[in-house]
Chains A and B, each alone.
Chain A
Amino acid sequence: MMGPIKTNYLMSAFLLIIPLFNAAHASTLVTDPSRIVFVGSHCKNLSADQIRVDLQNRLHIDLSSFPAVTAAEPSKGCLIKIPYSLTEPNLAASLVLKGTYAQGTADHLTGVLRVGSAGQVGPASLLTLSESPQGKFDWQQPLVISRSELGEDTLKISMFLKAEVAKSPPSEPKSSESSALQFQPLELILDHVSTRQP
């Protein structure tokens, strides 16, 4: 079931570069997925074992081992650094974050996806999950990327999830809905399309 998802895209275009892993593709940023770095204690279980590239050259990062956001631990975050080599200045790309959530009626779940590269801290795309008590989210963010300098760089993707648990009066016991609160990312997918003109 797809719950109501409200997204607030704070940017129309990221001035970034997207790496992919196909040496044969003219626009591809040939690099080694095993050199991807995960920064932060919440992504300590992530490694190159969770990374794969599919036949369409999309980069998949399995986040099922990323700890879920719960009422007891309401905030989680991770920074992923992907080395790449840019071979052309303009690329269009997309970033997809998939996962599941469950929340009480007055709880509030939010997510932030931020993409940056060397030379800049990128803007964020903000996700708010509300109304529906549970469901899946499939959060897609288009990226239009350009850069004047080619060559080696590092793409940074940060992902932060946060739950605001509804506050109950002290006399009232916590509802079972709140205690079941969960916000679990499952997969991050990086895709790209070359925008090079023939």
Chain B
Amino acid sequence: MNLKSILASSILLTSATSFAGYVKHGNLNVDQDSVRFVGDCSDADSFVSFNDDGSFDLVFTNLEAVALGSPARKTCMLKFNAKVPSGLTLAVSKVGIAGTSEINSEDGSASATLRHTLAGTVGDATIAEYKYDPSAGLRDVVLEKKFSVLSKSYIPCGKDVNFKTTISLSAKGQDADIVITEAAQKGKTYSVRYYWTWKHCS
């Protein structure tokens, strides 16, 4: 192994992994072993993909609430632990969810709720609700929420990140369906994207 490759390996190790079991994504060092999907989802049908800036995307291939007379509800939680560098703190600044909904009965309705918890602080919910509309057919569901400076909750300085996000889907009526997905109607996929706001602390 020559000096160049040793250097490259060292840089790679330093930048990609700061702690055993942790992988660095931007300023976020994620404990890969702590990533869990809980509830009506599992790691067989739910996938998280971190981006270089520490944001992440989720794909769900089986998260759907279908009401055919009886109300239906599905809930999925993603949780993971992470470390942040000394002198930095963070808050969720933006979140987006996407999917589809189709309501074919007059008594039908559907909703999706997204809520996160960061280091024990529960964030504001993002909610989408849909009612019967005979002209609507299959509807795109896109929700984006930006958290204002006042509504942002920063983790205490020096504290590790314990992050949870819960997605709840509800459908009521004779024929109502909602899927929060990154595409696919009734389908089973869901995408959530989180953005972090960082600031220095002491």
Contacts and interface: CB of A to CB of B under 8 A. Distances in A.
* Chain B: interface size category: 35 or more
A143 to B, nearest CB: 15
Contacts of B44: 41
Interface centre among A118, A154, A158 (most CB of B within 10 A): A158
B57 A162 contact: no
Interface residues of chain A: helix, strand, loop or mixed (majority): strand
Interface stretch (A23-31, A57-65, A73-81, A188-196): A73-81
Interface in B9-37: none
A159 to B, nearest CB: 6
A39 B57 contact: yes
Interface stretch (A98-106, A108-116, A169-177): A108-116
Interface stretch (A48-56, A121-129, A132-140): A121-129
A113 B55 contact: no
A36 B55 CA distance: 17
Interface bracket on A: 35 or more
Interface of B: 44-45, 47, 49, 51-53, 55, 57, 59, 61-62, 94, 96-98, 100, 137-138, 140, 142-144, 181-189, 191, 193, 195
Interface of A: 8, 10, 37, 39-42, 75-77, 79, 81, 110-114, 116, 118-124, 126, 128, 152, 154, 156, 158-162, 164
